[in-house]
Homo-oligomer: A and B are copies of this chain.
Amino acid sequence: MLKTPTIVLNVKTYEEATGNNALEIAILMDKIANETGASMAISVQSTDITLCAQKIKIPVWAEHIDPIKPGSHTGWTLPEAVKAAGAIGTLINHSEHRLILADVDTCITRAKELKLDQIVCSNNVSTSKAIAAFSPDFVAVEPPELIGGDISVTTADPGIVSKSVDAVKAVDKSVKVLCGAGVKNGKDVEKAIELGADGVLLASGIVKASDKENVIRDLASGL
Name A residues whose Cβ lies closer than 8 Å to a Cβ of B: 10, 12-15, 18-20, 45-51, 62-64, 68, 70-78, 80-82, 84-85, 91, 93-105, 122-124, 126-127, 129-134, 147-148, 167, 171, 203-204
Contacts and interface: CB of A to CB of B under 8 A. Distances in A.
B82 A74 contact: no
Given A64-B74, A75-B94, A102-B123, 4 more contacts: A13-B72, A13-B76, A64-B75, A72-B203
17 contacts: A18-B84, A19-B85, A63-B75, A64-B76, A72-B203, A72-B204, A74-B91, A74-B96, A76-B97, A93-B101, A98-B102, A100-B101, A101-B122, A101-B130, A104-B130, A105-B127, A130-B134
Identical chains in the assembly: 4
A130 B130 CA distance: 4
A75 B96 contact: yes
Contact of A75 (B20, B71, B91, B132): B91
Contact of A101 (B77, B96, B104, B132): B104
A59 to B, nearest CB: 16
A18 B77 CA distance: 11
Contacts of A63: 74-75
A68 B109 CA distance: 29
B80 A94 contact: no
A124 B108 CA distance: 14
